[in-house]
């Protein structure tokens, strides 16, 4: 499941949104992985963008980026 939603974390002069990815085996009701990240864009006083990973874990293995998360979760998907 992948979910995106707008948030107000950036404050005045900016926008922000969050991404949540959760991977489950629905037959076994067990969670394989969890990823969440906040994205910020600010226009004042100058333009900037920031991404902050809040959670990145596949089984008990920690990760730091969405690319690492995708690499760790890939073996659990069948063709």
What pLDDT score does 5 carry? 86
> Average pLDDT, stretch 20-26?
93
Find out whether 18 and 5 touch, Cβ atoms under 8 Å.
yes
What pLDDT score does 6 carry? 85
| pLDDT per position as a tens digit, 42-67 | 887 888 898 999 999 999 999 999 99
What pLDDT score does 7 carry? 80
Give the count of domains, the chain: 1
- Its sign, for the CA torsion 65, 66, 71, 75, is positive
Task: For residues 6 and 57, give the distance between their C-alpha atoms in angstroms, rounded to a whole number.
Answer: 23
Mean residue pLDDT across the chain? 89
Domain encompassing residue 54: 2-76
């Amino acid at each position: 499941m992948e979910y995106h939603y707008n948030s107000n974390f950036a404050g005045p002069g900016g926008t922000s949104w969050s991404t949540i990815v959760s991977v489950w085996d629905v037959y076994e009701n067990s969670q394989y992985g969890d990823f969440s990240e906040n994205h910020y864009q600010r226009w004042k006083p100058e333009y900037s963008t920031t991404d902050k990973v809040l959670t990145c874990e596949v089984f008990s293995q920690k990760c730091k980026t969405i690319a690492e998360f995708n690499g760790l979760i890939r073996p659990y998907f069948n063709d």
